[in-house]
Every structure is written in C-alpha cells, then in structure tokens.
Amino acid sequence: MKRTLLALIALAVLSINANAQSCTPDPLYMDSLFGAWPDTTTNFPPAQEGVFYSETLDFKIPETVEEIDSASAFASETIDSVVLTNVTGLPPGLSYACDVSSCSWLGGAQGCASLFGTPTVPGSYDVVIELDGYVTLPFVGAFSQPTTFTGYVINVTPAAGISIYHVDDFSVAQNSPNPFSEETTINFKTGTAGKVSLRVMNILGSVVHSEQMQAVPGDNTVKFQNTGLSNGVYVFTLSNGVKSVTKKMTIRK
C-alpha cells in the first residue's frame, strides 16, 4: 500500500512538472542591454484550437534606471528586481510559468516565461504583460513602478476541418439539379440557429409553396418536392427574418 501511494505521488509530481513547462533563458540575449523577446513586431506565433501550444517570452532586466531613462533624476540608481505579476488576455486553455517560481529577477539578470497549454476557443487574443520594477531611492526607500506591455497578440485558428460562422452570415447556393423534374436540393449557410422560411413563386408572383424549417449554425439543406407544378421558371426565396436571398429555378419534366 505504501509503495502504491508513493508511486501515485511520484506520478502526480511528474505530471505537475510536465505541465509547468518551465523555460530556460535564451543565451542569445545575454549581452543585450535590456528588453523582451519576441517584441510586439515579431509577436507570438499563431496557435490552433485543440493543438498543444508552447512559446517562450525572454527577458533581460535593465541594471540601472539610466538604461531605461537617462534623463531621470535617479538615473544612477540600481534596479533591485523586476517581477512578472501577471499575463492577461491569454486564449482559454493557456497559462504561463516562469523559469523561477517567484517570477522575479534581479537587475541585470535574464529570465523567461513559458506560455503553454491547449487552446480551446478560436479567435484573436490581445495579451498583456504586467511587470513591477523595484528600486531603492535615497530618502524614499524601496519604490515600485508597475509597467504594462501591450501589443502582443495570439491568434487561435479553428481546429482542422472546422469552420467558424459569424452571427450575421446567411448565404444561399443555387438549387441542384436545375432544371429538375421531381426534386431539387437547396443548400444554405447561416451563422445562428433559428427559423428559416422557404417560399416558391411563379413568374406572376403567386406563392405556390411555402414552409419553415429549423436551421443550425453552419451548413443546412432543404429539399423541395415538385407536387404538381407545371414546366416553367419559378423563383425561390430563403429568409431568416433578417436577410432574404432569391434565386431562379426551372421545372422541366
């Protein structure tokens, strides 16, 4: 029993460590003055719904206030530390972890944060990096300055084979076959679930057929049965109550 419990604890620890996705600061930025990589111009690569995502945000912490603002009255002061306080706006399913559990780095040091997880909702997400810098000032003591970095974006594309429809989408394809004798199929797409009406009229504008159906978001199909209409040209209209689309169709026996 004890061995079983130890094994379960070990598995749990391994699982936690695997999910933490801790990063290692990139030595490429070791000699940089200060900064964050990628910057907002390069930005984060896109993600895909349902596919695991992992990306590293590298930091080089400035050593003195002068490196950030040479005109500051406290330019010569040394930066004690910088703390990553939060990363907001991440796509659902993503979180972050730093190379140190405190997400705090001394002035002049390197650090990084790993953004990781499996996105669950497609869309474009504005990611905000929130930092807090600490400096000890003469006659003041410890002083903190919160800083927010905006402009980062993670675009999550839909899972392969899945289409995204907007609420106001409504389009109708030409019926097929056309001309037809007994039955034809009309395909349409709508962005929301709801009632859609079909009306068929002759060239004089008289309604010869009408029906309603319950549509679902995405692709829908309605079959029109000819139950006694004579040869000729007709028009059909599909409407969702907001938009209507009218097309011609021909009956030929």
Q: Which domains does the chain have, with CATH numbers?
A: 21-157 (2.60.40.10), 170-251 (2.60.40.2550)
Kind and range of the H or E element at 90? none
Report pLDDT digits (tens) over 59-102.
998 888 666 666 665 666 788 899 999 999 999 999 999 999 99
Could you tell me which residue, 189 or 141, shows the higher pLDDT?
A: 189
Place 17 in a pLDDT band, splitting at 50, 70 and 90: very low
E strand or H helix at 16, and its extent? helix 2-20
| Whether 237 contacts 246, CB under 8 Å | yes
3 pLDDT tier (thresholds 50, 70, 90): very low
Residue 14 has pLDDT above 50, yes or no: no
DSSP SS3 for 242: coil
> Distance between CA atoms of 55 and 48, rounded to whole angstroms?
13
Bigger pLDDT: 145 vs 109: 109
Our measurement of the distance from residue 1's CA atom to the centroid of its chain's CA atoms, rounded to an integer in Å, reads 45
pLDDT at 70: 64
Mean pLDDT in the chain? 84
